[in-house]
Amino acid sequence: MKQNAVIAGVGMTRFGRHPDRTLSSLAHEAIRKALDDAGIGIDKIQAVWAGNAAASLMTGQVCIAGQAILRGMGLGGVPVVNVENACATASTALQQAASMVTLGAHDIVLAFGVEKLYSADKRKVFSVFDGCTDVEDGQALRTFAFGAGGTPGGAGESRSVFMDVYARMTRDYMAASGATAEDFAEVSAKNAFHGSLNPNAQFRETLTPRQVLDSPPIVSPLTLLMCSPIADGASAAVIMSPKAARELGVRQPVTIRSSVLASGYDYTPAIDKLATRVSRAAYEAAGVGPADVNLVELHDASSPSELVYSEALGLCEPGGGVRFLREGHTRLGGRVPINTSGGLVRNGHPIGATGLSQIHELTVQLRGRGGARQADNKPRIALAENGGGFLKEDSAAIVVTVLGL
């Protein structure tokens, strides 16, 4: 009988500005922490999935980032698979690594993600996000983000074009749900409180909804404090077969009950959006439903995304995201705390590392090691949703992972 892979150890750096650090130094820190957490040396690793999305543009490292990083840790001779999948890069590395362990190809593997995005050259940074769209069909992006005949007006120069995409999605959601800018400010303030308790978060100041609303406008209705900033950072997980975890005496292994990856394509009204379809598949594979989920980390590249994904993941009924928020279910102390880490808006978004940082947070919480931000609903089932890229009218890739004790 097939036995699902388990997470034996996790590690990450603090996300933020790290101008004096290299990709390798960031990755090494996260990997060493994950190995220490699992109680093993790097010599036990049988294969590696190495996530990075932007180094080819930001640092010039192409093709062999994983091999170059691991050579500096004394690891060679094992399979190293370099993974690039937009903002879903690290979660894709996890999904692929866990699949190979569950299928029996390996017993002990490593998945990590690392990114350096901060640069004095803003155009270089924004070019990374430009490349996460279909560059051969720029008209589709322009039509969606700016409307027929619309113009970018600074997109790609003073801001990421994805802020225009998220603003369009937000306006559509407001029209359909009755959500207001005040609701989005409440999401930002909630996650700022969560992030204030997380030592790995880039920004740890608490915020009021008024401060969020009064922050500089980006693209209506989004303000600065509703948008995720970039970051440098790394995250990692050691994944094992249950047999290896038992033999090595791993403490508190967390089961990867399912991890489902799917890609976007041309969306039609008759087809559910990608997040809904992937989450349904993940629930089915895990043998659970949305009502069983106690804790969620989701991809809030902008704060309104939390409300949109609360509905898409089935945590509340369609159109119920605003009420779900207002009733307090999504904050610490609520029924299903969302983004106890602070989410992307407070952690920042180092593209190639974000997905595994979500797994880090959920693993810490399931083990009861969250400290001041520990969810008090005794979580046993947790879900991570990590999406990336843009294809016509939807994400280009989404990974939904269900973890359990």
Active site residue ranges: 87, 349
Q: How far is CA 123 from CA 85, 97, 155, 242, 354, in A?
A: 21, 34, 10, 46, 22
> How far, in Å, CA of 263 to CA of 284, rounded?
18
Question: End-to-end alpha-carbon separation of the chain, Å?
Answer: 19
Structure-token match 């299928």, residue found: 103
Q: Are strands 254-263 and 6-12 parallel, antiparallel or unpaired?
A: antiparallel
Residue of 287, 160, 258, 145 whose CA lies nearest to 218: 160
Residue 140 host element (H or E): helix 138-146
Q: How many residues does the chain have?
A: 405
The verdict on whether omega for the bond into residue 221 sits within 30 degrees of 0, i.e. cis, is: yes
Kindly state the tokens that stand for 323. 């009420």
Phi-psi region of 178 (alpha: psi -120 to 50; beta: other; left: phi over 0): left
The C-alpha atoms of residue 314 and residue 289 are separated, in whole angstroms, by 8
